[in-house]
Amino acid sequence: MKATKDILKTLETIKKRAHFVAMNTGGKKWVAESLILQAMPSDTLTPESGKIEIGFTVTKKVGNAVIRNRIKRRLRAVAAEIIAPKAKKGYRYNVIGRLPALTADAEKLRSDLRWCLKRLDQLDT
């Protein structure tokens, strides 16, 4: 399934460090083989807004800038397909890439992300 422009409009990028830090300290997280998903209710969005805040993080431990950016690109594409249409609105998500995300096929990334959303009880019904 490809993400349409309407679906992509529901995603807003997290830009402030304070929001990432707040998720790290006060949010819920679930670890999968290729990624870690952090989630917490957004203090700037409501579920009625139909929007989701999302950020992507890959640490320097994973590799150089080329590798980190490649992982982030792959995670962005998968998140647009999975998080935008299926995750609860009015929440803030941070997808943290791990080294296996570099070589994992797209279906493995999708299943890991779905699994994390399910475990965090973030699938919108």
Q: Hey, what's the torsion of the CAs at 60, 115, 91, 17, to 10 degrees? A: -10
Q: Name which of 2-16, 31-45, 62-76 the model is least confident about.
A: 2-16
CATH of the domain at 34: 3.30.230.10
Q: Does residue 19 fall inside a structural domain? A: yes
Q: Is residue 1 scored above 70 in pLDDT?
A: no
Q: How confident is the model at residue 8 (pLDDT cuts 50, 70, 90)?
A: low
- Residue 114: per-residue pLDDT: 94
Domain range for 49 is 5-94
Three-state secondary structure readout of 25-43: HHCEEEECCCEEEEEEECC
The total number of structural domains that make up the chain = 1
| pLDDT of the residue at 29 | 95
Using pLDDT thresholds of 50, 70 and 90, give the confidence band for residue 9: confident
> pTM of the entire structure?
0.89
Summarize the confidence of residues 92-118 as an average pLDDT: 96
What rounded mean pLDDT belongs to the chain?
Answer: 91
Pairing of strands 52-57, 91-97: parallel
